[in-house]
Amino acid sequence: MNSAFNRAGVMLVGLVTGCLLVCQSSQAGSLLVGAARVDITPPVGIPMAGYYHERGASAIHDQLFARTIVLEKDGVKAAIVSLDLITTRRSFVQDARRLIEAATDIPGNHVMISATHAHTGPVLASDSTLDEARGGKDELVLQYSRTLPAFIADSVVKANAVLGEAQAQAAIGVEDSIAFNRRFHMKDGSVGWNPGKKNANIIKAAGPIDPEVPFVFFSNAEGAALATYVNYAVHLDNVGGLEISADLPFSLTETLNRYHGEEMVTVYTTGACGDVNHVNVSWGAPQKGHDNATRMGVILAGEVLSQWPALKTVDGPLQVRSEIVELALPAISPEEIKSSKEVIETADDRTRASFMKLVQAHKVLDVASQEGNPWKVEVQVITLGDQLAWVALPGEVFVQLGLDLKLDSPYPQTMIAELANGSIGYIPNMRAYPQGNYEVVSARCAAGSGEKLIATAVRLLKDTHRKCP
């Protein structure tokens, strides 16, 4: 089950020494597509990500993958990579891009790398105090994090090696029964976060959801399935527990592959869902574990399959743009830095009040580590023709920001991959900041950061759209 993890050292050497591939040359106007997946399952015992306490993986329920689609049109190449992980780190994204550039003719900044936000994968090494508290200095974590860029690069190399003439078809489904805004206006005047099922103090949701299910189907010249890209905005926190799992994408992939065959690569990315999860507070039944992940994956796959007759061919130029954006830090004081260290030393997340103190403490210390320097994050867009756009955003983006981006995008089908090319955590919209609660308390960026990212993305999208014939 962990053979991919054990092979990482050999793979890394092979990639660095220059695995050169001779790819098919594209005929003018033809779209070339290649797809591949690479096992990135960590070993049993590795500390797991997702919560504010340490827990070690006791078993593997299903494997984790790096799933990749490589596109080429008129000599322009791009790669879309999805990882069954909690997040992405800028450091391993840059390392993977360097390996990809060394092994292929794909420019590093043409590679989009996002995470699904599965809460049942490994902790990833970083300088964050929260990751350290969850076991981020464990040798298994350090080893896994060192070898992860090679896995990512290998998935792109493999997809690039099988490029062939292909067709892209796209459609948008609608599914509003498995995603719910998790922030609520409460009777005491506050905005609550995950207030619990059947809570009589709930008035109404404090925000929307994004029910769109945009998907793209890629098939070869004979009509055989190569890959299906699916995008949806919901937190992946069904499973919990101590088993390694991809959560919803596992059952989504199984269901779609029953229809299209095991060779098809299913690439799932998470849309803007910083304040959206799977919990229906009006329904009293439990919604946790592999059963609920399976239910959601099958429902989502069903919506994709129900819209299969609506697929329409998409063609046109392939374009890529990216830009580094500086985001301001939230204000913190020297007193907060001192008290935050004390809170973490005596960490206690057993009650809601003490949990919020812990959330605030980790945020303060992470912001302090910036020494006043703004976050430098990447906004990236990949477009195909005048119909399809993929947008990479660097964190857990509130759904309203995603909806605003779609409204202002000139592309009819705009797909947002959050937690992409590095992440700074929660990115609320301005309206949410004075409302407070978990996501706002946790946010490492100042109010207005989300709107700045959306404005950048829209500008890049308009630039590519103007260049479409």
Three state DSSP letters for the chain: CCHHHHCHHHHHHHHHCCCCCCCCCCCCCCEEEEEEEEECCCCCCCEECCCCCCCECCEECCCCEEEEEEEEECCEEEEEEEECCCCCCHHHHHHHHHHHHHHCCCCHHHEEEEECCCCCCECCCCCCHHHHHCCCCCHHHHHHHHHHHHHHHHHHHHHHHCCEEEEEEEEEEECCCCCEECEEEECCCCEEECCCCCCCCEEEECCCCCCEEEEEEEEECCCCEEEEEEEECCCCCCCCCCEECCCHHHHHHHHHHHHHCCCCEEEEEECCCCCEECCCCCCCCCCCCHHHHHHHHHHHHHHHHHCHHHCEEECCCEEEEEEEEEECCCCCCHHHHHHHHHHHHCCCCCCHHHHHHHHHHHHHHHHHCCCCCCEEEEEEEEEECCCEEEEECCCEECHHHHHHHHHHCCCCEEEEECCECCCCCEECCHHHHHHCCHHHHHCCCCCCHHHHHHHHHHHHHHHHHHCCC
Structure confidence by residue, pLDDT tens digits, 372-413: 999 999 999 999 999 999 999 999 999 999 999 999 999 999
85-95: average pLDDT: 97
- Domain of 357, in residue numbers: 329-373
What per-residue confidence (pLDDT) applies to 26?
A: 37
Residue 188 and residue 312 in one domain = yes
Structure confidence by residue, pLDDT tens digits, 94-119: 999 999 999 999 999 999 999 999 99
Q: Do 363 and 329 contact (CB within 8 A), yes or no? A: no
Pairing between strand 426-427 and 225-232?
Answer: unpaired
Structure confidence by residue, pLDDT tens digits, 186-206: 999 999 999 999 999 999 999
Q: Is the pLDDT of residue 310 over 50?
A: yes
Q: Among 340, 373, 406, identify where a domain stops.
A: 373
Residue 352 and residue 263 in one domain = no
Q: Do 159 and 84 contact (CB within 8 A), yes or no? A: no
Q: Is the pLDDT of residue 25 over 80?
A: no
Residue 254 and residue 337 in one domain = no
Residue 138 and residue 25 in one domain = yes
Residue 209 and residue 354 in one domain = no
227-236: average pLDDT: 97
In this structure, is residue 418 part of a structural domain?
no
Q: Is the pLDDT of residue 7 over 60?
A: no
Residue 251 and residue 353 in one domain = no
Q: Is the pLDDT of residue 20 over 90?
A: no
Residue 245 and residue 346 in one domain = no
In this structure, is residue 258 part of a structural domain?
yes
Residue 357 and residue 280 in one domain = no
Residues 247, 269: Cα–Cα separation, whole Å? 13
In this structure, is residue 414 part of a structural domain?
no
Residues 211, 233: Cα–Cα separation, whole Å? 7
Pairing between strand 111-115 and 76-83?
Answer: parallel
What per-residue confidence (pLDDT) applies to 446?
A: 98
Structure confidence by residue, pLDDT tens digits, 271-302: 999 999 999 999 999 999 999 999 999 999 99
Distances (CA, A) of 107 to 111, 177, 234, 252: 7, 40, 31, 31
The tally of domains found in the chain comes to 2
Residue 116 and residue 216 in one domain = yes
Structure confidence by residue, pLDDT tens digits, 210-219: 999 999 999 9
What per-residue confidence (pLDDT) applies to 350?
A: 67
Q: Could you give the maximum distance between any two Cα atoms of the chain, in Å?
A: 66
170-176: average pLDDT: 98
| Band (435; pLDDT cuts 50, 70, 90) | very high
Residues 176, 198: Cα–Cα separation, whole Å? 19
Residue 241 and residue 294 in one domain = yes
| Band (249; pLDDT cuts 50, 70, 90) | very high
Q: Among 317, 352, 385, identify where a domain stops.
A: 317
In this structure, is residue 206 part of a structural domain?
yes
Q: Is the pLDDT of residue 24 over 50?
A: no
What per-residue confidence (pLDDT) applies to 269?
A: 98
Tokens of 25: 């040359």
**48-76 burial: b if 16+ Cβ within 10 Å, else e:** bbbeeeebebeebbbbbbbbbbbbbbeeb
pLDDT greater at residue 414 or residue 347: 414
Specify the pTM. Answer: 0.93
Residue 336 and residue 301 in one domain = no
Structure confidence by residue, pLDDT tens digits, 323-361: 999 999 999 999 999 999 999 888 766 677 789 999 999
Q: Is the pLDDT of residue 417 over 90?
A: yes
Residue 180 and residue 289 in one domain = yes
Q: Is the pLDDT of residue 430 over 70?
A: yes
Q: Do 15 and 154 contact (CB within 8 A), yes or no? A: yes
In this structure, is residue 403 part of a structural domain?
no
In this structure, is residue 243 part of a structural domain?
yes
304-317: average pLDDT: 97
pLDDT greater at residue 350 or residue 145: 145
Interhelix angle 352-368/334-345, nearest 10 degrees:
130
Q: What mean pLDDT, rounded, does the chain reach?
A: 93
In this structure, is residue 462 part of a structural domain?
no
In this structure, is residue 425 part of a structural domain?
no
